[in-house]
Structure 1
Amino acid sequence: MGMDGSPINTQTSISKHAFFDLSHVSPLVFLYLLRSCYIHGTCKASAKFRALQHQVHLVLANNSQYGPATLIAHCLYILPIFGSYCEGISHLVLSSLRRFLKMGHNDEDLLEAKICAAKLFLGIVDGTLAYDEGVLIKILEVFDIDLMDIEKVMCGTRSTKADTAKEVVEKYVTKLIDLESYTIAVDVLINFSIRQFGESFLLKMMECRQFKAAEKWATHMGKSMLCLLVQEYVDKKLFKPAYDVIKKNNLRQEFPELYHQSKERQVFKLAEKGVWDVAETRAKGDRQLLEYLVYLAMEAGYFEKVEELCDHYSLKGFLNLKEPEENTLHNRYLHLDELFIEDVIWVDEVNILHDAICYFEECKVVGVDCEWKPNYEKGSRPNKVSIMQIASETKVFIFDLIKLYEDVPSILDECLACILQSPSILKLGYNFQCDIKHLARSYGELNCFKHFEMLLDIQNVFKEPRGGLSGLAEKILGSGLNKTRRNSNWEQRPLSHYQLEYAALDAAVLLHIFRHVGSHSQPADGNSKIEWKSHIISHMDSTAQKMPKKDTETIEGSYQEEVATTKELRSL
């Protein structure tokens, strides 16, 4: 039981009673108690460290025998006798002091501690005290030791031929370099503002591939050393770090050609990934880069992007180059007229929303897909789902979820639930579980996205390893989908004609692939049987990790009606 009568969790407890009164404790006793608490604590190391850090902070605030900085400096002298606990406890007390000093300090205490810490540094340098190099750097940083502090300590013991403080530090750095401890060597030089180690030091670090240390040293030395660093990166064909140094240190004028080549490589990689809007943002303000992006779009067959860039930035001489290619592009990808789509309807008002729901309540099978603006910032949350497309055999309705959710959330919820939660309408999707989870995250207050009825994920039926929906469409229907628009800005309003066509195709093509599934559900002419009924999901929660129970019977009637509709369409 604890002192307040509450039970103690022996798995996470740490003994701190020894710190009840440490107002007059000596450094040796303080360290002994600190080690004892660490040994007997049973919680995880990180929790133990935080708990003891708090206790050290209390000791620094209340010890009347020593100033806080002086107490820690004396502790560091003693710590090596604690053997294997030395390094861990030294990091503990130094981090605690660093946090304490941020709240304020006593100048007299800090001056005394700096002299004590300078002696400690010299002891580590000459090998009298055994400390890890990382601890040495922390000592220099926390106590803010400079050459004057070292000089004061050496002054009383120096003979006529003794080294200066600067010479002692330089000899130590030379020793570190010989041991290939480049990061520590750079930290020591920067701490003491020593600049004697020049180009040869940088070249040696680059040769040993110590790039972070080399960049830190070059930044400390200034522009000429940074230029040498960039050139070394280029010679080693390490163009990205070279560009990063140029950008970070404003060296564009010193390396104009290299800077432009790096920007071109960035734009090329973004275009290659299909993130054209991001590529355009990177190229903005640089006409040469924008023209390069136009050529990339032409090469990718993304001629609507060519047109958009030329119009927006007044780029001349490109539009007539794309005309001979248009027929080839048209034959390469599916188009809405090939899928018998008579109308694509934008839904952003209540009356159109009601019309859409009434229409779909008469359908037996629909295709469903979603789009959202891609997010390329690391660590940031995904953007909300922007639009939902629901397709029948002849029409596609595109729901502006962002606007409808802002204007009429309750009506949107009720209307979409009539479709998504209807057991009599089969919803076709591709990798639909991803869309379901994203819808639930985007619009958590809407019940319509919390569970779904009667789903068939086409991806699970075919299990295509490559190509996604476009590859599957090409395999089944003979032509794929133009995916260049996939990563466009789906939050812009109005959406472009090309975006609307892409969105409509993604939903409509699902019905035509399903039509193929139905016509090949029985083996004929050597074709293998396609089993699809077992993949129907009768009920799914948006938070479910696994696919829940399946239903193969309730959709049978719907499917037969769909086959009839298919035959009618084929006869047209």
Structure 2
Amino acid sequence: MGIRSTSRTPPIVAGFPSRSFSPTPRIRPSSSPRPTLRRVMRRAEVGASPDNPENMDQRRDIYLHAFSDLSHVSPAMFVYLMKECYICGSLKATPKFKVLQHQVPQALSNSPQPGPAMFVLQCLYILPILGPSYTEGFSHLLISSLRRLLSMDDKQAITPDAKSFAAHLFRDILSGRVSHEERILLKVLEVFQIDIEEIAEAMFGSEVNDASLEMAKSQMGKYISGFIVSRSYITAVALLERFPVYQYCLPSQSLFDKLIEEKQYNVAEKLAIQLGEPMIHLLVKKYVDINMLKRAYIIIKNNDLLQEFSDVYHLYKRSSLKKLARKGLWDIAEIKTNNERQLLEHLIYLAAEAGYLEKVDELCKRHSISCFTPETVLVSCPPTSSYLDAKNFLLDGITWVDDIQGLHGAMMQFRDLRVVGVDCEWKPNYEKGSKPSKVSIMQIASLNRVFIFDLIKLYEEGRQELDHCLRVLFHSSEILKLGYNFQCDIRQLWGSYGDLECFRTYETLLDIQKLFKEPHGGLSGLTKEILGAALNKTRRNSDWEQRPLSQNQVEYAALDAIVLVHIFHRVCSHPQSMEDGSILNKKDWRSHVISRK
């Protein structure tokens, strides 16, 4: 049911709807007559030409002067002046509207008759005449200005007459007699705090009794059902919150099904809270059925239902731990267990399943869990074999470089290469607002071999030699450097070793992810698609500053660099064999090569 799409606007006399459907409050006549709208328009437009800046300024001054005293300004005149202030001048729409946002609240405190609340309501009746391009913005402006005035001035209050008149406006917007957006309908309801008794009086115009109340509730239920059918769920639930007429609307369970089907989860939760605990239970079960465990968990936690849904609570916690483990965020996962033994044992199981036996041992020792050992977990949950095997790629081995002699030896190996893969690792820092850790190691790979540079130690022992050697590599236009999201690595390197020239500029760098149109789940997912098996990322966020690194850490770091070279060669040699058309053509990779000098 679209509020704007309905019938004619009612006849307007001095800003009021006709007496046939809305009572006109008694207004004390002022001592001097108000100018008519036509008279004001004539005065404002005499001698005012858009081509004459002086006349335009004079015209604007007339409008702003009228705002300074509203005691003799009718709502119709005020609406016209607002529009003229908005369209006057050469500024863009936004700054001009900001001027009105400043002027209108002040104007409403300058004696509008018969009071600011009633004055605003009369303006809201008139505004639809201006058309949709003005109605919504000006309506929001007026209501917000009134709300601001009421909050700042204790002497200003909404009178019973204004509240009754607001109920008539609310009714006329609902019925389509006055064309306003649904958001305006809800704002009127919120600011004037209209209740069902006032709605009944506005609808039936007689003394409110049980019969008229029931008819009003029934009519409100029909309107709300119309909003539900037209998928205006936010409006429907907001009205139900104010007028709990559930017995006159669609059945609650049917409404829930509609909200879930349309993915209106926030609205469904708000409705469930209104209806009470049985509906909250129903919503939790629906969330579990569609595997939305996080939303189910939040509802359980916020409504103190842990005892009733302990199984859902643990299901969500285990699911969260699994997601963190897949990302290699083991430290965060451990914190999330809150030292609950059941969750700690599940985290140990996940570590064993990923083949992260040193993490299994670490967790068992730290939390005194003796029923798990590396040997027993290997039997109960052997590590998956779907990951790349380092032995199939590192045919010439891994070389650890932590002294100047080894640095020079490695650079000699790079002289004859045309393509290398580059990657970096650093210790994660989970403390909010703290400085990131220094880059600990850099891996540089050829097709069959990887050199791992201990940057921390090399920097301490000979930063000038380190700078010179890496500058030769990074500044060479003859060697193509491959990375994955390498701009992040460059920023981290620059932040860690900002006094070295080698990380400030570079030549011939290709970010391998630029060769693909669609995301593939990071480097691991891309490796699985191109090379047939994924990278095991369980050690991505391990302690890269410890020395020596574990063998698993070394292999992880080496694979991260060497797969870049293999992916590049596979794409260049077999571009047509890539599935789903996500790979760019062979000739396109050169267009993604970048340099920074």
The TM-score range, normalised by the shorter chain, is 0.5 to 0.7
| Corresponding residue for residue 205 of structure 1 | 255
Residue equivalent to 1:320? 375
| Partner in structure 1 of residue 299 of structure 2 | 245
CA-to-aligned-CA distance 1:23-72 (integer Å, 9 cap, x gap): 23332112112233445677766555444333323433555656544432
Q: Aligned-pair distance for 1:129?
A: 3.7
- Most deviating of 390-399 and 218-227: 390-399
Alignment-mate amino acid for residue 121 of structure 1: F
For the structure 1 residues 46 and 20, does the alpha-carbon distance in structure 2 shift closer, same or farther, using more than 3 Å as the test? Answer: closer
Amino acid at match of 1:265: S
Given the alignment of the two structures, is residue 97 of structure 1 paired with residue 146 of structure 2, yes or no? yes
- Distance in 1, Cα, partners of 2:192 & 2:548: 60
C-alpha separation in 1, matches of 2:409 and 2:222: 81
| TM-aligned CA distance change 1:359 to 1:52, over 3 Å | farther
Matched residue, 2:285: 231
In the alignment, does 2:391 pair up with 1:334?
yes
Matched with 1:307 is 361
Go from structure 1 to structure 2 and tell me whether the alpha carbon gap of 1:62 and 1:535 turns closer, same or farther (over 3 Å shift).
same
Give the AA of the match of 2:102.
H
- How far, CA to CA, are the matches of 2:208 and 2:384 in structure 1? 91
Q: How far does the alpha carbon of each residue in 1:311-342 deviate from its partner, in whole angstroms, 9 at most, with x for none? A: 33333234213557689899933399964435
Change (3 A) 1:504 1:204: closer
Equivalent position to 1:176, from 208, 224, 227: 224
Distance 2:84 2:284 in 1: 51
Structure 1 position 310, deviation (Å): 2.6
Q: Label 1:167 to 1:370 Cα distance change in 2 as closer, same or farther (>3 A).
A: farther
Residue from 71, 78, 90 that aligns with 2:119 = 71
State, as a whole percentage, how many aligned pairs show the same letter.
Answer: 33
User: What is the aligned counterpart of 2:188 among 139, 142, 151?
Assistant: 139
Q: Which residue type is aligned with residue 354 of structure 2?
A: A
1:204-235 Cα shifts (integer Å, max 9, x gaps): 21132354333212213433331232234445
SS in 2 for 1:30: helix
- Over 3 Å counting, the alpha-carbon distance change for 1:321 and 1:389 in structure 2 is same
Find the counterpart in structure 1 of residue 595 from structure 2: 540
Structure 1 spans left out of the alignment, 5+ residues: 1-7, 346-351, 521-530, 543-572
- Is contact 2:506-2:596 (8 Å) kept? yes
Does residue 1:398 correspond to 2:454, yes or no? yes
Counterparts in 2 of 1:462-473, with a 5 A limit?
none
RMSD (Å) for aligned C-alpha atoms: 5.6
Which of 214, 220, 236 is 2:268 aligned to? 214
2:319 counterpart residue number? 265
Q: Which residue of 2 aligns with 1:191?
A: 242
Task: Give the distance between the partners of 1:43 and 1:356, measured in 2 at CA.
Answer: 67
Report which stretch shifted further, 296-305 or 121-130.
121-130
Q: Which residue of 1 aligns with 2:30?
A: none
The offset of 1:139, in angstroms, is 0.8
* CA shift for structure 1 position 141: 1.5
1:291 aligns with 2:345: yes
Asked if 1 retains the 8 angstrom alpha-carbon contact of 2:348 and 2:363, the reply is yes
Letter in 1 for 2:442: Q
- Report deviation, 1:430: 3.0
Task: Output the CA distance in 1 between the equivalents of 2:470 and 2:62.
Answer: 63
Larger displacement relative to structure 2 (44-53 or 279-288): 44-53
d(CA) in 2 for partners of 1:96, 1:493: 61
What letter is aligned with 2:554?
Answer: E
| TM-score between both structures, scaled by the size of structure 1 | 0.66
Following the alignment from structure 1 to structure 2, what is the Cα–Cα distance between the partners of residues 172 and 190? 12
- Letter in structure 2 aligned against 1:332: D
Shift of residue 262 of structure 1? 2.8
Q: Which range moved further: 52-61 or 425-434?
A: 425-434
What is the match of residue 442 of structure 2? 389
1:153-172 map, 5 Å: 158-159=206-207, 163=211, 168-169=216-217, 171-172=219-220
Secondary structure of 2:306's aligned partner = coil
What code does the residue aligned with 1:485 have? T
* 1:267 to 1:470, Cα distance in 2 relative to 1, 3 A: closer
Quote the Cα distance in structure 2 between the aligned partners of 1:384 and 1:57.
52
Maintained 8 Å contact 2:150/2:156: no
Secondary structure in 2 matching 1:397: strand
1:491 deviation in Å? Answer: 7.3
Q: 1:138 Cα deviation (Å)? A: 0.8
- Specify the alignment match of 2:102 in structure 1: 54
In structure 2, relative to structure 1, the CA distance for the partners of 1:359 and 1:175 (3 Å cut) is same
Displacement of 1:278 in angstroms is: 4.5
Measured against aligned partners, the alpha-carbon deviations of 1:277-323 in whole angstroms (never above 9, x if no partner) come to 44444444332233233333333333333333333333323421355
In structure 2, what is the equivalent of residue 501 of structure 1? 554
Partner of 1:86: 135
CA distance in 2, matches of 1:90, 1:327: 62
Q: Distance in 1 between matches of 2:545 and 2:247?
A: 55
Q: CA distance change for structure 1 residues 75 and 372 in 2, over 3 Å: closer, same or farther? A: farther
CA distance in 2, matches of 1:156, 1:198: 18
Structure 1 contact 27–74 (Cα < 8 Å) conserved: yes
Q: Partners of 2:526 and 2:254 in 1: how far apart?
A: 54
Rate the CA distance shift 1:338–1:444 in 2: closer, same or farther, 3 A: closer
Report the Cα distance in structure 1 between the residues aligned to 2:421 and 2:507, rounded to whole angstroms.
14
SS in 2 for 1:254: coil
> In structure 1, how many angstroms separate the alpha carbons of the residues matched to 2:122 and 2:315?
56
One-letter code aligned to 2:313: Y
Query: Does the CA-based 8 Å contact 1:73-1:117 persist in structure 2?
Result: yes
Which letter does structure 2 place at the counterpart of 1:187?
A: A
Distance 2:249 2:363 in 1: 46
Q: Does 1:449 align with 2:497?
A: no
CA distance in 1, matches of 2:548, 2:248: 57
CA distance change for structure 1 residues 126 and 426 in 2, over 3 Å: closer, same or farther? closer
| 1:20 aligned onto 2:20 | no
8 Å contact from structure 2 (residues 149, 156) kept in 1: no
Match of 2:10 in 1: none
1:500–1:66 CA distance, 2 compared to 1 (3 A): farther
Say if 2:536 is the partner of 1:483.
Answer: yes
TM-score between the two structures when normalised by the length of structure 2: 0.64
Asked if the contact 1:485/1:499 (under 8 Å) is kept, the reply is no
Cα distance, 1:307–1:332 mapped onto 2, change above 3 Å: farther
The verdict on how the C-alpha distance between 1:372 and 1:137 changes in structure 2, with shifts beyond 3 A counting, is farther
- What is the aligned counterpart of 2:80 among 10, 32, 37? 32
